[in-house]
Amino acid sequence: MLDSRQVTLSYDRKIQKTPTLQHGSLMQQQQKFAGTAPAPDLAGGSPEDVIDRIETTIVDVPLRRTHFHSSGTHGSQSYVVVQLFTKGGAVGLGEGVTPGGRAFWGGESVESIKATIDHYLAPALKGCSVFAHERLLKLMDRAAARSNFAKAAVDIALHDVVSRLLDTPLAAFYGGKVRDSIPVLWPLATGDYDRDVDDALEQLSTRRHRYFKMKIGQGDPEADVKAVSRAIRAIHAQFPEACITLDFNQAWDEQTAARWLPALQEAGAALIEQPVPAWNAAGMARLASRLDIPVMADEGLWDLHDAYDYFTRGATDVFCVKVAKGGGIRRAYKAAAVAEAAGIPLCGGMALESSIGTAASLQLFGALPNLTWGSETIGPRLIADDLATEPIRYREYEVLIPDGPGIGAELDTDKFKHYRRA
């Protein structure tokens, strides 16, 4: 009788013998030599469930207020609306998004997302069953290296169409909701620390938010640390329960971080996000070991492979799981599982999604048991108008997870027409 270890080994061996990327490889090759076309693999679905076409449209939605970021400011947020049509007429809705819709954060922009999908991803997937999700991900990898934000937009549409065909909320794919709402973080990003304090006090006194993220690192380090420490203390003086995290967006080098982060810890910061450049995972690990409060990677940690690497190096104490950066819902879930294995708690991250992308993220975040650092999914509150017929709802510090079917959001066709880029 085989024990489980032997089963695993023989399974691994089998995997290694079989070329993995090919579309039904051996049978396909045999049929090729025999001069017959391979039968399409429907992955258990019907011939109606193959992808007919994928349409992409850029939309530009105004923001309520200018959003400050270490790489500049933006007054609107752009999206790529993805509509995936099956032969049978089912439609899946997805959203491509990067901060500001621009390329500064991760190299992709709405324009590049649209081009990557139109020219490479959509042609690669045409004619394949929407139920063959893992195979579709591999086909996208073969068609385009990296391009996580573009792949994520298609991955969301795939999840949406499959869960609609099965008439189930997407969260059911990942074990179902373990909560109905998640504490949500408010970005203190007015560009002025005194105004940030007023903003935070307003949010706290109206019971809208008690988790905050401040952006820091663009000015002189000593002056920034003094101003931010003063701001944290001013907020805590009135609301000791406020949780204030600091995002540096890679602004400091390791020596500056080692010099000044202890002062911010002393002032009451709850968490330090990406103080040093994305490439410096070793520096992140050294800083994490010097501080008592958690250090969290963002720009340096993209997918499940980075996650494994960061966790084994001790280079992040919290994992900010993001659907867009992570290459889609399925891969974000896998990375979250790696975090669970490593005992790393999760934060549900965002890239300023509208209610469409936010709904998709929340379907996943609602199903993750180890999501103890809340969520950043505040996009719908930052845009002045929305793309979904029913925007995501917020209530007393928390964001509510929508029900399905699918991702739990529908495209508002009037808004879509209004904001689409000419």
Catalytic residues: 215, 376
Instruction: Report how far residue 86's alpha carbon sits from residue 69's, in angstroms, rounded to the nearest whole number.
Output: 39
Binding site for Mn ion (CB under 5 A): 247, 298
Quick one: three-class SS letters along 383-420? ECCCCECCCCCEECCEEECCCCCECCCCECHHHHHHHE
Question: With respect to Mn ion, which residue has the nearer C-beta, 298 or 412?
Answer: 298
Q: Which amino acid is at 104?
A: F
Q: Closer to Mn ion at the Cβ: 278 or 342?
A: 278
Least CB distance to Mn ion at residue 273 (A):
5
Output 174 or 310, the one with its CB closest to Mn ion. Answer: 310
Kindly tell me the sign of the dihedral angle through the C-alpha atoms of 128, 132, 135, 136. Answer: positive
Closest to Mn ion by CB, 216 vs 235, is 216
At closest approach, how far in Å is the CB of 300 from Mn ion?
A: 10
Name the residue number minimizing CB distance to Mn ion. 298
Beta bridge partners, 273, equal 247, 296
- Residue 64 in tokens: 């309520």
* CB 296, min distance to Mn ion, A: 8
At how many degrees (to 10) do helices 329-342 and 355-365 cross?
Answer: 40
CB 250 to Mn ion: min, Å: 9
Nearer residue to Mn ion within complex by CB, 298 or 303:
298
Amino acid at 121: L
Residues paired with 213 in a beta bridge? 187, 245
Contacts of 155 (CB under 8 A, 6+ apart): 94, 137, 323, 327, 328, 329, 330, 331
Nearest approach, Cβ of residue 154 and Mn ion (Å): 24
